[in-house]
Each structure stands twice: as C-alpha cells, then as structure tokens.
C-alpha cells in the first residue's frame, strides 16, 4: 500500500523532519534508506498531490518516490527551480526543482502577466522555438497554451529551429517577446527556457528582474491558465525563414571566391541538434559544394547518443567529424551545439594536421576578415564598431584599432553585446563581435550569437584564403605576427560544501584587499574592479570610471599586455579564472614553442594565486 503524504500543522515541529512521522505503518526497508526531509519539502509534495491541475501520472511518480526513493523526493522538491535573468534550466522530471509542464507553466504565466502589464491594450505576440532536446516540443506547446489562454498570440515553429532564427523572428513579426526551449550544451537530462524581449535579444534589466518578480508572484500551479486558445496559436510564416536566409546572403562578400573554391571540403556535424535544419542549406545556397554531413549525428536526438556532451568546445563532441574529415581529407570541420548559437571549427595547420581552434581564435579570424573586407570596399563611414565580452581576447581590440574601428567591452554573455547594439541602433553600426565561448555574430539583423551565420562567414573566410593561396591557419599566424600571440586558458574551480560560496567570496575579498604586484614575471599595472565600477592605475593611483554594469569580476592587467580575470558564479560555488597571455610571434614556425612558454607562465600564475592545487 502506498500511503499519502499528510500535510500537518508544522509550527510545533523541528525544521528538518523525517518523513516517517507523517505516515504509518513504517516499512523497515523504507527506514533503512530514509533521508531527512524538511517541512517545506513535505508541503511542496503535498501541494502537488492535492492539486487538481497535476495529472495522475505525475502524482503517481511522487507516490513512488515516497515509497521507494526519499532522496529523489528531496532533490525534486527541496526548492523551486529558479527563474533567473535568462530563464529556466534544470533536470527534467516531477517536482518543483525540475523542468516539467508545471514549472514551465508557472514561468510562462509570470511572463504573460508581465507582458500584459508592459503592453496594455495591445495585440501582444510571442514567438516560440525549440531544439532537439527531449520534451522540447512538449514544453513549447505548454508555453503556447498558457500564453494563448492569457489572450496572447503565439507564433510556434512547426519543427525544431536554431535559437538565432527565433531572435530574428521576434523582430520580423513585431513580437513583444520570444521563447526558446533549450538547455544549450548541458547533459541530456536537462532542458531549459530562454526568454527574449521585443528587440530579439535575451532579456536585460529592467525586464529580466520584472519577469522574475512576476514569476515568483504566481500563486502555485492552480493559478496557471493551462487551457489554451487554439485560435491564437499560429505557425511561423515560411517567409520569415526565407528573409533570414536573404539577410545571411547579404553579409557575404566573397561570392566569386566561394564559386571558385569547388575543391574546398567541409565536414559539418549538428551534434544531433537543430543546426541540421539550416546550416547545410545556408552553405549550399551560397555555393559551397563539398559539404560532407556526419550522418550519425544528423538525426535530432535528445539523448545525444553518439557523444558524452553535445558541446562543440570539447574535442570529444567533434571526434566523429574529425575522423570523417581525415578519411576524405577535408579542409575544415564545423560543429554546432544543439540550439545552434555556438560553433566550433577545426582547420589544417602548416603540417597538414587538423587543429581545433578555440573561441578566441575563431572570433579573431571572423572579425579580422570582416574589417578587411569593409576596408577594401571603402564601406567605413566612421561610425562602425565591434563588441566583445570582458573575458574575450584583447586581440580583438588591437585588430579593431588597426582599422580605425571602435570597440566596446561588455559583461559576459552575448545578451550584453545585443544591449549595446540596441543602444547604438541608428547612431553607430555594428560590424561583428563575439565571446570566447564560441558565440559570434555579424551585422545587426540577429540580436544573439548565431552559429548559422557564423558557419557561413567562417567558411567564407576559408574560401577567401583558398583563393589567395593560403589557409585559415596561415591567416591566423599572420594576425599573430602583426599584433602579437594572444593565448588564453580557463580554470574553473568548484568549491564543494555548504560554505563553498562563502569561501569564494573570501577569495575575492582577499584579491581586492591584497592584489598581486606582479603575475608570471610581469608587473600588474592596472586593476579593474567591475563590481565597484573602477579601474585603478597601479603606478599613479589614478582611477577611471568603468562604463559597465556592476558585476563581481576582478581583472589584473599586466605590463606586457596580458590579463588575468576572476569571475565567481552568482548561483553556485564556482569561480572561473581567465588567463590571456601575450608574447611576440616572429613566424608561424615559432607558434608551438611560444604557446608552451605561455602555458608555463599560466601555471606559474596559478601557483602564485594559490590555485595550483585548488
């Protein structure tokens, strides 16, 4: 017999209560595996069991956890899945801490309430897209039902589509907001829900905080309007995608070079994601003829059955593509993540070996190429700019400066670059930009990182290099020889335990109160405290106000042009250290030796900061 959780008056009970005190008879096997459950967990589980809105299957899952797996019950109900500044992301399953119909429904009800308050008396519209993850279509349908039940028109894609296409669709259809159901490159157990505003970018202040407030104000599952209005749910018109492809074509400069690069071989993998629906078509329509698809990964699959993680930053995710590229002697490999906003590439070096480029290297090739083309065509009007995040390579600044183009730094996350584009729209012109985590974009028509567009431009760079008797690797070496070799590394530390966040805060406080005088043999000449909004010239003591929103980030600028950044997570006991080192490069043949030298410096700096054994 499965006994229900009985909600009791808990004010006379201790804070952590063993679930055994709530039902009889006591099962001895159950006792052996018991864990302590707080009153809050008991209350949350009971609320779901008693709710008329919760389906019987979900209730049975809760009963099964009560009988057989208290730990799972605790993990599923110990808190609420937080709607953060970007939306939801979590493991799928039953419970308040899981991605499911009800947590998605409450988030969408909060979003609907906010939209209706922001745009009263209007015909409000929201576009929804989704990727290949398990339940992505179901969660999209759930969001559509809730929005339409609140009188909001919904434009829902008929099948999975890349995130940047959603960004474009929001503006193309004049929507007040947009939703993408995706968990990016997280493991298969996860799904997520990202919210976009009417400029096609992920929500920024004040709207992010406003939506969070409304979501938190939703008074439980039974307050959600799940009974949608089918008359308000429509398919995204095919003309939107056609116009998106037209915009991509307008960004391409080297059409003749592409036509003449018939021997250029490119291997592409969508890693079981949404990219397969658009990347091959975009490349083919522009004239790239030798596109070899990794068929094992071309089928959308939320289990990502051929990889450990669908993350193009990791070599393992591109292993099948690299193997296929070697078998056909391809010049280049492209791999996009499940929602197709980030792309990883591999090119052949001077020895003919396939080398995976990091996000900084790809961004530099893309930006340098775009600026070169603009200059050769006399397109500069004097109001152009590029943008990057504060932890992305400073080589982009040097490249922009050499062309007389302004650059802007933003906080980490492409949504902040999109914020700059919105602020400067009509006054200055965005050429290109990106972030070290493999996300880039060109032009202003998409307000998020775009792996469809980036794939096209990176292949265009390859075609241009091919027509000019060089490789992308050779072009990268030329950039390094002109501006200096910038080499980056990332150290991500998770400090476990209940006091993990406290320890990280203490680490940041120590760095602020006792900053290093030098790192890796180079003097610290500037300290940027993004939280305080100040940059301090160490030698003179002069301070400069930083034009950035406050964020808990510290940056140490070294005399040789290198930079070390410390950035804690705001939600988990994790801190990231970004190392960007600079050395001269006289020739491409010196690259490996110089990289080894830099990596030795990075290890030394980690030791100096006390991170070596962290």
Spatial separation of the C-alpha atoms in residues 282 and 247, rounded to whole Å = 11
* Six-digit token string for 439: 């996300």
Spatial separation of the C-alpha atoms in residues 207 and 212, rounded to whole Å = 8
* Cα 86 to chain centroid, rounded: 10
- Look up 67 and say whether it is catalytic: no
Question: What is residue 493's DSSP assignment?
Answer: E
Spatial separation of the C-alpha atoms in residues 403 and 395, rounded to whole Å = 13
Spatial separation of the C-alpha atoms in residues 446 and 171, rounded to whole Å = 9
Distances in Å between the alpha carbon of 599 and those of 13, 363, 484, 595? 57, 21, 16, 6
Spatial separation of the C-alpha atoms in residues 136 and 487, rounded to whole Å = 38
Ramachandran angles phi, psi of 276, nearest 5°: -65, -25
Spatial separation of the C-alpha atoms in residues 594 and 614, rounded to whole Å = 26
3-state secondary structure of 536: strand
CB 22 within 8 A of CB 5: yes
Which is catalytic among the residues 61, 184, 270, 580? 184
Neighbours of 1 (CB within 10 A): 5
CB 110 within 8 A of CB 214: yes
Distances in Å between the alpha carbon of 65 and those of 37, 60, 75? 12, 9, 11
Q: In the chain, what is the straight-line distance between the N-terminal and C-terminal CA atoms, in Å?
A: 49
Active site residues: 184
């Amino acid at each position: 017999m499965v006994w229900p959780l009985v909600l009791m008056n808990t004010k006379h009970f201790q804070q952590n209560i063993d679930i055994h005190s709530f039902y009889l008879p006591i099962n001895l096997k159950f006792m052996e595996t018991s864990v302590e459950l707080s009153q809050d967990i008991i209350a949350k589980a009971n609320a779901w069991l008693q709710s008329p809105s919760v389906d019987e299957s979900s209730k049975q899952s809760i009963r099964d956890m009560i009988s057989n797996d208290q730990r799972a019950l605790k993990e599923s109900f110990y808190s609420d899945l937080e709607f953060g500044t970007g939306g939801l992301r979590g493991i799928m399953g039953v419970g308040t801490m899981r991605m499911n119909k009800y947590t998605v429904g409450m988030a969408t009800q909060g979003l609907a309430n906010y939209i209706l308050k922001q745009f009263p008396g209007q015909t409000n519209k929201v576009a929804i897209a989704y990727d290949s993850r398990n339940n992505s279509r179901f969660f999209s349908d759930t969001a559509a039902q809730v929005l339409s039940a609140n009188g909001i028109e919904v434009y829902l894609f008929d099948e999975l589509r890349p995130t940047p296409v959603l960004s474009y669709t929001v503006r193309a259809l004049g929507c007040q907001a947009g939703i993408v159901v995706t968990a990016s490159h997280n493991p298969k157990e996860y799904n997520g829900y990202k919210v976009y505003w009417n400029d096609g970018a992920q929500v920024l202040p004040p709207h992010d905080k406003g939506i969070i407030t409304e979501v938190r104000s939703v008074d439980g599952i039974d307050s959600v309007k799940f009974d949608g209005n089918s008359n308000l749910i429509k398919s995204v018109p095919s003309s939107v995608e056609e116009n998106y492809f037209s915009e991509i074509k307008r960004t391409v400069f080297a059409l003749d070079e592409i036509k003449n690069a018939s021997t250029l071989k490119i291997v592409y993998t969508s890693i079981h994601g949404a990219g397969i629906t658009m990347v091959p078509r975009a490349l083919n329509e522009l004239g790239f003829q030798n596109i070899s698809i990794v068929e094992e990964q071309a089928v959308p699959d939320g289990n990502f059955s051929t990889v450990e993680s669908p993350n193009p930053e990791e070599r393992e995710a591109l292993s099948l593509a690299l193997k296929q590229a070697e078998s056909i002697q391809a010049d280049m490999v492209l791999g996009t993540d499940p929602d197709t906003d980030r792309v990883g590439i591999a090119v052949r070096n001077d020895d003919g070996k396939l080398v995976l480029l990091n996000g900084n290297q790809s961004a530099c090739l893309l930006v340098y190429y775009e600026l070169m083309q603009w200059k050769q065509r006399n397109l500069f009007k004097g109001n152009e700019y590029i943008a990057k995040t504060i932890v992305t390579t400073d080589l982009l600044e040097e490249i922009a400066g050499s062309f007389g183009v302004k650059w802007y730094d933003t906080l980490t996350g492409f949504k902040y670059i999109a914020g700059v584009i919105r602020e400067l729209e009509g006054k200055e012109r965005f050429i290109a930009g990106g972030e070290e985590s493999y996300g880039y974009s060109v032009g202003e028509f998409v307000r998020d990182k775009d792996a469809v567009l980036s794939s096209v431009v990176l292949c265009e760079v390859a075609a241009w290099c091919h027509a000019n008797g060089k490789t992308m690797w050779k072009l990268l070496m030329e950039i390094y020889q002109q501006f200096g070799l910038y080499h980056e590394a990332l150290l991500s530390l998770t400090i476990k335990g209940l006091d993990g966040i406290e320890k990280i805060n203490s680490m940041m406080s120590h760095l602020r109160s006792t900053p290093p005088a030098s790192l890796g043999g180079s003097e610290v000449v500037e300290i940027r405290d993004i939280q305080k909004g100040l940059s301090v010239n160490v030698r003179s003591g002069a301070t400069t106000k930083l034009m950035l929103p406050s964020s808990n980030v510290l940056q140490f600028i070294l005399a040789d042009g290198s930079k070390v950044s410390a950035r804690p997570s705001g939600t988990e006991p994790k801190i990231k250290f970004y190392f960007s080192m600079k050395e001269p490069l006289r020739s491409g043949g010196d690259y490996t030796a110089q990289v080894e030298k830099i990596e030795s410096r990075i290890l030394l700096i980690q030791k100096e900061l006390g991170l070596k054994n962290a």
